[in-house]
Amino acid sequence: MPTPGLIFVRVRITSPDLSDEAFNTWYNQVHIPDALNAGLGELALRYKNLEADGKYQYCTLYKTSDIENASNPATSAKIPETSELLPGSGNWKELTEMSILRFELTQRFEGQGNFTGRGDALLTVGVEPADEEDFEEWYRKQHLDMLSLGTGYIRATRYKLAAGHDASVPRFLALHEYETTDFPDTTLVRGTKWSKKVLSSAKVFERGAWKLIFQSGDEKL
């Protein structure tokens, strides 16, 4: 059976000749259709970083029903590297810096509210825990239930890093969807004895806050 998963792409513009407007026009109108047609995923969700000083300006989630196929070099080779919409050589690899990570789906969790659509806001949390078993138990038995009590919380989708990545990359990624970017205070959630134990002992902890700006593909994913 195919394994569902995620291609997690973060990007920043590095060329002064490439404007945000030109980049977004190319990405939304050309690159995403090319990527979906190539088989990188069935749904693409693009977000803008809410943190002005963040390393990456944008991220894209390519959700796929078959992460092995999406990770195949032959799949990405089908995506054109150049476009007349981009300046200079038109090669996006020369104009941007991208981080591309591949994950396997481990858990879907729906919040306690009645909101069933796609949220406008996203928190991404990457963790390399000190104790994987305790981390997993904490997430499933306490953390998600407490987060879901927060105003505007919709759902979480959790992933584990696929094989073949550098050991410095945190292996566990959680995507937390919210109705708006007015994120609720999570002091109480993070303040439990169990939360303090897991978070304080984590070897790597990365958090990002993003706003949805574009989507294309199969909304059921």
131-155: pLDDT as tens digits: 999 999 999 999 999 999 999 999 9
Confidence of residue 121 (pLDDT cuts 50, 70, 90): very high
CA distance 94 to 80: 13
CA distance 219 to 221: 5
Confidence of residue 117 (pLDDT cuts 50, 70, 90): confident
Confidence of residue 20 (pLDDT cuts 50, 70, 90): very high
Do 127 and 187 reside in the same domain of the chain? yes
Compute the mean pLDDT over every residue in the chain, rounded to the nearest whole number: 95
Do 85 and 126 reside in the same domain of the chain? no
Q: Residue 189 above 70 pLDDT? A: yes
Burial code (b: 16+ CB inside 10 Å, e: under 16) for 50-70 equals: eeeebebbbbbbbbbbbbebb
pTM, to two decimals: 0.94
Report the candidate in 39, 22, 42 with the shortest Cα–Cα distance to residue 30: 22
Confidence of residue 77 (pLDDT cuts 50, 70, 90): very high
Structural domains counted in the chain? 2
Do 109 and 207 reside in the same domain of the chain? yes
Confidence of residue 166 (pLDDT cuts 50, 70, 90): confident
Contact 210, 53 (CB under 8 A): no
Q: What CA–CA distances, in Å, run from 191 to 112, 122, 123, 160, 200?
A: 21, 22, 19, 25, 11
Assess if residue 220 is contained within a domain: no
Q: Given 102, 134, 161, which residue is the final one in a domain?
A: 102
Do 138 and 92 reside in the same domain of the chain? no
State the virtual CA torsion across 81, 86, 87, 91 in degrees, nearest 10: -10
- Averaged over 80-101, what is the pLDDT? 96
Confidence of residue 123 (pLDDT cuts 50, 70, 90): very high
Confidence of residue 162 (pLDDT cuts 50, 70, 90): very high
Q: Residue 40 above 90 pLDDT? A: yes
Give the per-residue pLDDT at 113.
77
Do 67 and 35 reside in the same domain of the chain? yes
Do 67 and 83 reside in the same domain of the chain? yes
Report the candidate in 206, 18, 211, 212 with the shortest Cα–Cα distance to residue 97: 18
The radius of gyration computed from the CA coordinates of the chain, to the nearest angstrom, equals 18
| Residue 7 token pair | 């291609």
Range of the domain at 206: 105-212
- Averaged over 207-212, what is the pLDDT? 97
